[in-house]
Chain A
Amino acid sequence: MKIVVMIKQVPDTTEVKLDPRTGTLIREGVPSIINPEDKNALEEALKLKETVGATVVVISMGPPQAEDALREALAMGADDAILLSDRAFAGADTWATATTLGYALKKIGDFDLVLAGRQAIDGDTAQVGPQLAEFLKVPQVTYVRELAVVDGKVQAKRAVEDGYEDIEAKLPALLTITKEANTPRYPHAGAIITAYRERKVTRWGVQDIGADPEALGLKGSPTQVKRSFSPPPKEPGQIIKGAPAEAAKDLVAILRQKNII
């Protein structure tokens, strides 16, 4: 079985601070990490590798430094790593990103399972996984917190608002994994050293995946970010002083005045 895991390198938002004047993220000096739920997806793949046997390939689209995320995935136990990096990929929205990843997966060809994190902590869209499944025309199961591969099919427990759905899908299929699925392993110290000194990360550009450059990057993106801003800070609340009975009366009066009650 061949499992391909989509990973994205993101800034560690637990360490990101906002510039109070401009309201934008201060990215300088912020460490880059594998998007947390992509790590959960990788962990599921590695568990399958150990239990039923599989080759695990990790793919990331990003700038050259995204190679670090792939090397970390190699250190955790992935077999192969592919970095999709090309100027033509830059400025992609979720649609163009899914298209790029889709061409890469078509080039790989013989995959049985595609796993991705539910969503990335920098964009929070949760769109790339489903869009990629549509592109590949394979069944998709989102919000998966448990999965098993039995008799050439994948069985998944999918979290929905008021409970769970047990879903079975034919392979190849694409699943997006939530953080409840597992606790990702630590990479072995020796594997970290080897991942950097001995392992290889394959790099594919637009030529390698045979894609139409017009469908990729900024050009291939139907949506574009016009402006980023932080919502204005919440105004301080009002404290109503006085004896409880009096204060309650005042509160009711204020709420009436604001047409809340």
Chain B
Amino acid sequence: MDFTFPKEYELLRRMIREFAEKEIAPIAEAIDRDEKVPMELIKKAAKLGLMGVPFPQKYGGTGAGEIGYCILMEELNKVCGSTATVIGAHTGIGAMAIYLDGTDEQKQKYLVPLAKGEKIAAFALTEANAGSDAAAIQTRAVRDGDYFVLNGSKIWITNGDIADVISVFAVTDPALGARGGVSAFIVEKGFPGFTVGHKEEKMGIRGSSTAELFFEDCRVPVSNVLGQFGAGFLTALKTLDVGRLSLGAGGLGASQQALKMSMEFAKSRYQFGAPIAAKQAIQWMIADMAIEIEALRSLIYRVAWMMDSGNMGRDFSTLAAMCKTYGSEVACRAADTAVQIHGGMGYMKAYPIERMYRDARITRIFEGTNEVNREVIARNLFRNIGLRLR
């Protein structure tokens, strides 16, 4: 057994940390305030190979696998939840769907420019009436010669208004339902009948765009069916499993930053003639944060290692749901504790803790609410002892 990171990952982490601290941290407040991650920043990240970290180099990626990608999400979330969300939605779900289920031609055509960061990806599953109940999607795709014609709309699509390539899920056979009746499509933003609607204003991760997408007789070539026809729901679930692991890594980064800032503050803030770190109440908060962070780190990198070494097995989906659920909850608790330790300072916009608190909250909701993720975990556990729950 060996829990050390190979050296390439240490250097990768150091490079990403330096990039995050020098190029992102100074503008993180502006990204939140202006509700925009500058394209310049994305271009800089692309130049360093940070838009395709998990993908093999033969597809334009970095070749750093899921471990490398978790390192990226961890380091980005230390400084800016918005930037992490934009790069995460692009890499971890948008492009990931094409990587997992695309044909080699599709990968050459779409994944290569996405992995190089020349183009931006999004993942479009959620609809107004299909959130946690993703199987209830209503967007329809009907075959017409060499094309599928898509009609319907998607909501809350991260990167929706900046994406060039979108993995879209639509019903191809209503009679079959989610299993067999849903297919995935690769949609380019220039396809006729595709338009972007309203952009949401959010509590946190404000620099990431969250948009509505409309498909009105949108014509998608048959060659752009992603994965097996009718098996789109499986593509979605598989992609979300991988995405959930990296979301947990994001929570790890956010909570570490909350702990680091809280400790620095507790050391330098004097009350009653001593640093507040001398108070047992503060010490217990710090200890609890640190315990959870260490447990989370072990979980995340073990699951990332499983994926990279091909030892995924049937429990992967359970473990990925645990990464997402635990990672988001540790991050939210750490952010809340950090605000408490910082007191009034933690509540003021002048200090990054306030932004970190707002950014953390979404992680318990998106990519499957934690309630849905707990259902996944419990159902898989019962399935292992022969009880199928629906």
Contact A31 B62 (CB under 8 A): no
Which residues on A sit within 8 Å (CB–CB) of B24? none
Which residues on B sit within 8 Å (CB–CB) of A75? 11
Of all chain B residues, which has the CB nearest A68? B7
- Cα A44 to Cα B235 with chains together (Å): 48
A195 within 8 A of B: yes
Segment 186-225 of A: residues with Cβ below 8 Å from B: 186-197
At the interface with chain A, which of B48-56, B201-209, B247-255, B272-280?
A: B48-56
One of B15, B53, B62 near A186 (C-beta < 8 A) = B15
Residue among A186, A187, A188, A189 with the highest chain B CB neighbour number at 10 A: A189
- Cα A187 to Cα B6 with chains together (Å): 17
Contact B18 A189 (CB under 8 A): no
Which residues on B sit within 8 Å (CB–CB) of A196? 6-8, 11
Whole-angstrom distance between the Cβ of B355 and the nearest chain A Cβ? 25
Contact B11 A68 (CB under 8 A): yes
Which residues on B sit within 8 Å (CB–CB) of A197? 8
Which residues on A sit within 8 Å (CB–CB) of B68? 189, 193
Contact B18 A186 (CB under 8 A): yes
B129 within 8 A of A: no
One of A31, A186, A194, A195 near B19 (C-beta < 8 A) = A186
Whole-angstrom distance between the Cβ of B13 and the nearest chain A Cβ? 10
A37 within 8 A of B: no
Contact A189 B7 (CB under 8 A): no
Assuming A186-B18, A186-B19, A186-B48, is B61 touching A192 (CB within 8 A)? Answer: no
Contact B57 A192 (CB under 8 A): no
Contact A192 B12 (CB under 8 A): yes
Which residues on B sit within 8 Å (CB–CB) of A68? 7, 11
Contact B15 A193 (CB under 8 A): no
One of B15, B18, B19, B47 near A192 (C-beta < 8 A) = B15
A8 within 8 A of B: no
Which residues on A sit within 8 Å (CB–CB) of B15? 186-187, 189, 192
- Cα A188 to Cα B16 with chains together (Å): 10
Which residues on A sit within 8 Å (CB–CB) of B7? 68, 71, 196
A43 within 8 A of B: no
Assuming A193-B64, A193-B68, is B11 touching A188 (CB within 8 A)? Answer: no
Whole-angstrom distance between the Cβ of B173 and the nearest chain A Cβ? 41
B33 within 8 A of A: no
Contact A189 B6 (CB under 8 A): no
Of all chain A residues, which has the CB nearest B45? A189
Contact A71 B11 (CB under 8 A): yes
B14 within 8 A of A: yes
- Cα A186 to Cα B50 with chains together (Å): 12
Contact B11 A190 (CB under 8 A): no
B180 within 8 A of A: no
A93 within 8 A of B: no
Assuming A68-B7, A71-B7, A186-B48, is B19 touching A193 (CB within 8 A)? Answer: no
B221 within 8 A of A: no
A72 within 8 A of B: yes
Residue among A187, A193, A195, A196 with the highest chain B CB neighbour number at 10 A: A193
Whole-angstrom distance between the Cβ of B11 and the nearest chain A Cβ? 5
Contact A189 B14 (CB under 8 A): no
Which residues on A sit within 8 Å (CB–CB) of B53? 189
Assuming A193-B62, A193-B64, A193-B68, is B49 touching A188 (CB within 8 A)? Answer: yes
B152 within 8 A of A: no
Residues of B within 8 A of A (CB): 6-8, 11-12, 14-16, 18-19, 47-50, 53, 57, 61-64, 68
Task: Jot down 7 A-B pairs with beta carbons below 8 A, ordered by A.
Answer: A71-B7, A187-B48, A190-B63, A192-B8, A192-B12, A195-B8, A196-B8
Residues of A within 8 A of B (CB): 31, 68, 71-72, 75, 186-197
